[in-house]
């Protein structure tokens, strides 16, 4: 419940660190506690608890994404959704879902900063993050920023060929392989709902006709450079994962869900 308020009020660099860094730190602590609790009280109980809370977080986030009218809070509920995805994957268990969870932690941390940089540039120009206050037609007034925003939104909602599509597909495959078809169905429904919610918001923001012609004024070069660097990394990981990173991810997945 604190995350939407923090993301909407914090400076963009701070909110980016919350989404890309501290979220993974919190999940790391949860994973360490999960390993101990599974031994103490039994893996089935802990896995079932994580699966329920993860899917509940996804469902709650999906509902709020659909009705959200603030760009910064939209990103907050997106992060709640992704945290739920990772927790649900750990709850599903097994080598495949655990591998998907570790991949997702990596890919989300790389992709989310692009969204925050783009939304921050838009908020800086219009003085607000409210979708109702920002004129439509952003693709004409801030074309480069709009393209980064659109690409990052497609990436974070698991559109191929971006990396998050691969991690979510791996988790979904792990759920089916583990016989958790009901969890896979709910997982897929929440993912599609979040995608539709993002698409509806971006359609209005980027393509809707503006109330009055706006001056074409792009974000500064430093902001565009940050978007380009983070965007290139996020896009590149969809095609190639460096072997040292991949090896660490596989080792982490083996610790969490057992070896292949």
Contact 186, 57 (CB under 8 A): no
Smallest CA-to-CA distance from 77 within 201, 236, 233 is with 201
Report residue 3's pLDDT band, with 50, 70 and 90 as the boundaries.
confident
Give dist(CA 97, CA 79) in Å, integer.
19
Give dist(CA 25, CA 165) in Å, integer.
22
pLDDT tens sequence across 64-80 = 999 888 999 999 999 99
pLDDT, mean of residues 132-161:
88
**188-205 burial, b if ≥16 CB within 10 A, otherwise e?**
eebbebbbebbeebbeeb
The chain-wide mean pLDDT, for the chain, equals 90
Using the predicted structure, report yes or no on whether residue 212 has a pLDDT greater than 80: no
Output the pTM of the full model.
0.93
Preceding amide of 161 cis, omega within 30: yes
pLDDT, mean of residues 226-244:
91
Contact 109, 81 (CB under 8 A): no
pLDDT, mean of residues 230-243:
91
Smallest CA-to-CA distance from 123 within 9, 40, 26 is with 9
Indicate the range of 46-60, 118-132, 185-199 predicted with least confidence: 118-132
Q: Residue 133 forms beta bridges with which residues? A: none
């Amino acid at each position: 419940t604190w995350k939407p308020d923090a993301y909407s009020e914090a400076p963009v660099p701070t909110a980016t660190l919350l989404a890309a860094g501290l979220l993974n730190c919190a999940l790391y602590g949860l994973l360490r506690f999960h390993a101990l609790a599974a031994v103490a009280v039994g893996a089935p109980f802990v896995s079932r608890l994580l699966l329920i809370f993860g899917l509940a977080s996804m469902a709650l986030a999906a509902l709020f994404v659909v009705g959200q009218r603030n760009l910064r809070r939209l990103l907050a509920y997106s992060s709640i959704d992704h945290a739920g995805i990772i927790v649900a994957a750990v709850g599903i268990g097994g080598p495949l879902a655990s591998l998907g969870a570790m991949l997702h932690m990596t890919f989300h941390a790389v992709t989310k900063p692009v969204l925050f940089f783009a939304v921050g540039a838009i908020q800086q120009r219009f003085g607000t993050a409210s979708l109702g206050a920002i004129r439509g037609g952003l693709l004409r007034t801030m074309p480069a920023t709009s393209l980064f925003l659109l690409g990052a939104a497609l990436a974070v909602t698991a559109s191929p060929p971006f990396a998050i599509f691969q991690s979510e597909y791996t988790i979904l495959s792990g759920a089916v392989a583990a016989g958790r078809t009901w969890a896979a169905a709910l997982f897929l429904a929440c993912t599609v709902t979040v995608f539709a919610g993002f698409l509806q918001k971006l359609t209005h923001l980027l393509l809707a006709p503006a109330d009055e012609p706006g001056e074409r004024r792009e974000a500064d070069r430093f902001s565009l450079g940050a978007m380009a660097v983070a965007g290139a990394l996020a896009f590149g990981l969809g095609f190639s994962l460096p072997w040292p990173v991949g090896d660490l991810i596989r080792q982490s997945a083996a610790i969490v869900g057992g070896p292949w």
